Chain A
């Protein structure tokens, strides 16, 4: 299959155009078409024709297919809108016979960034846990393959900002960094040299609970047991909702309560009348053991 038909096959805009291009490719003897050699996405361009008389011009591109009646010998003007997508285009001219030429439209200058940061939440103190990828795009969202500089910057509240400069290769620039020591939002931005700036937020959250300590007191109903403020090993309070499992053992058997942390503290009521031993755990963290004597 010739390059013309294979392009049409890839584009597959319509069966009619495809059939036409197959016929054209078979019939093409010479090429009375002069296609632009340095077309840029979003910039108008012209396709030159030679000869005289009426003809039909076809253009098939990544996001366009058009048919136009033209006069041979005059230039066919292609508007900026018709050339917004970068990529390979095929121009076909049919009069008594058909001829075709391929040309490329390259992306414009980078003026925009697609910026993806992963993950959206990360525990504090994790090594190389945060990564960001920026894709350089032109005005019409074409991926700009030419090298360009991207400046990454990340900052948390109350800490100096850190930055990293990366050269985009084939339209892609990336960075990787570790999470900080304090829980809170981490602002990450990616910027081009022309002040185009895209911002993302990664939520840095407390790591696993550390030094779980509990205290309890007897109430008419049972034993009210609660933790001291639950924090991770960096001193960050664990998020509300983190489950702390209280386990109580007395002569009546074993009791469990999965209690969520509310405002840094988890509390539960254990129905126990005699002397009871209570412990707590959250994830892999274990707390102290609490012994409360019996009382009716």
Chain B
């Protein structure tokens, strides 16, 4: 008992100190000067005496989903912006990917600052069902009195007018016979699917096998591409599938890029690659038709080469989570890279939504052409 009492006192004292530190700290400093990082355990400071502190407080409120406080702390750029539209911008709507995401952490970096205004670049790290997603946003802050305020100038999403969109899309159903049917009387062959190109390269993350696959048949196919890496003696080093880096449901004559990643593996250890494409007959629908408009290769705000464009939903069905897969070709028409990205906002009928997919810096100069396909996940279908 005599020995336990001092230990208890020490534990209580350390806990009290940690709680105090936790409540008073604003952000955690990282190793990079000028970059502040937000996390789940940052404090409740109301100090907005600098743009960094104001930005951090705002993002912390967003992270904690304290919408009233976050909205009150920001300055609206126009009266059209409501708290509802502000919340919708952060939590998503219409079953988009953002609706299922959580702001895990953020990094802020000052771009420019004067006495009256400042520009901050924020890298938002979202945890999503399809893996971590990074979003880079620039915020404008203004000096108001003795404090700084985030200027919220995001235009609210346009309301889709009530309309009737005629839908006469095609649909394939699969009818199977029962087990009592005569042998050989109901055989339906699997769709004919062919890998039309394959390329293996080393990337920063490991070996990558990629190319394109085409459905040569007259029926839809559910397609998966598998790659097996073999060493000099024919032994299997590793095998992987294309997972989500492929358009799984291919309509007749449709072409899809595929990419199979082998993290932490170098091509120098690989003697041979065995490809295998599996195609299954599935019920499918040709709706919605999504156009990929105004694509251009450019550099983003951080100087990375990206392919950006707009998705246009030509039909009457909401696409909750659009998934863009792009194949990039060199001057010989060879696939040199396959990149993909999820669009965080739902694609509403007859509407457009911007997208961007990254291209490795080392390949940007080689890219002469590209082709983009769109995978779509709709809650109504799942």
Contacts and interface: CB of A to CB of B under 8 A. Distances in A.
A54 to B, nearest CB: 45
Interface stretch (A79-87, A143-151, A240-248): A240-248
Interface residues of B, number: 40
B184 A256 contact: no
Contact of B293 (A239, A241, A258, A270): A270
A206 B252 CA distance: 12
Contacts of A269: 291, 312, 314
B218 interface: yes
Contact of B252 (A114, A116, A241, A272): A241
Contacts of B217: 121
B367 to A, nearest CB: 12
A116 B291 CA distance: 43
A161 to B, nearest CB: 20
A219 interface: no
Nearest to B372: A256
A21 interface: no
B91 to A, nearest CB: 29
B189 interface: yes
Contacts of A262: 168-170, 286
Nearest to A203: B218
Contact of A121 (B183, B218, B372): B218
Nearest to A240: B170
Nearest to B314: A269
Contacts of A268: 289, 291, 314
Given A255-B294, A257-B314, A241 B286 contact: yes
Given A200-B184, A206-B218, A257-B289, A271 B189 contact: no
Given A256-B295, A256-B372, A120 B187 contact: yes
Contacts of B252: 238-239, 241-243
Interface in B305-320: 309-310, 312, 314
A33 interface: no
B187 A116 contact: yes
A102 B163 CA distance: 82
Interface string A219-231: 0000000000000
A56 to B, nearest CB: 39
A283 B253 contact: yes
Interface string B263-291: 00000000000000000000000100111
Nearest to A271: B293
B372 to A, nearest CB: 6
Interface in B300-352: 309-310, 312, 314, 352
A258 B373 contact: yes
A48 interface: no
B216 interface: yes
B132 to A, nearest CB: 28
Interface residues of A, number: 39
B170 A255 contact: no
A199 to B, nearest CB: 9
Interface string B213-243: 0101111100000000000000000000000
Contacts of A252: 293-294, 296
A281 to B, nearest CB: 9
B184 A117 contact: yes
Contacts of A243: 251-254
Contacts of A255: 291-295, 309
B295 A114 contact: no
Nearest to B289: A259
Contacts of B178: none
Given A121-B219, A205-B218, A241-B220, A256 B168 contact: no
Interface string A264-283: 00001111100000000011
Contacts of A209: 253
A253 B295 contact: yes
A118 interface: yes
A290 to B, nearest CB: 16
A120 B372 CA distance: 32
Contacts of A257: 289-292, 314
A263 to B, nearest CB: 9
A120 B295 CA distance: 41
Given A268-B291, A271-B291, 13 more contacts: A115-B184, A116-B183, A116-B184, A119-B189, A121-B218, A238-B218, A241-B219, A243-B254, A255-B295, A258-B254, A258-B289, A262-B170, A271-B352
5 smallest beta-carbon distances between A and B, as pairs: A253-B296, A260-B286, A257-B291, A116-B184, A252-B294
8 contacts: A117-B187, A121-B219, A206-B218, A243-B253, A254-B296, A257-B290, A271-B294, A271-B312
Interface of A: 114-121, 198, 200, 205-206, 208-209, 238-245, 252-260, 262, 268-272, 282-283
Interface of B: 168-170, 172, 182-185, 187-189, 214, 216-220, 251-255, 286, 289-296, 309-310, 312, 314, 352, 370-373
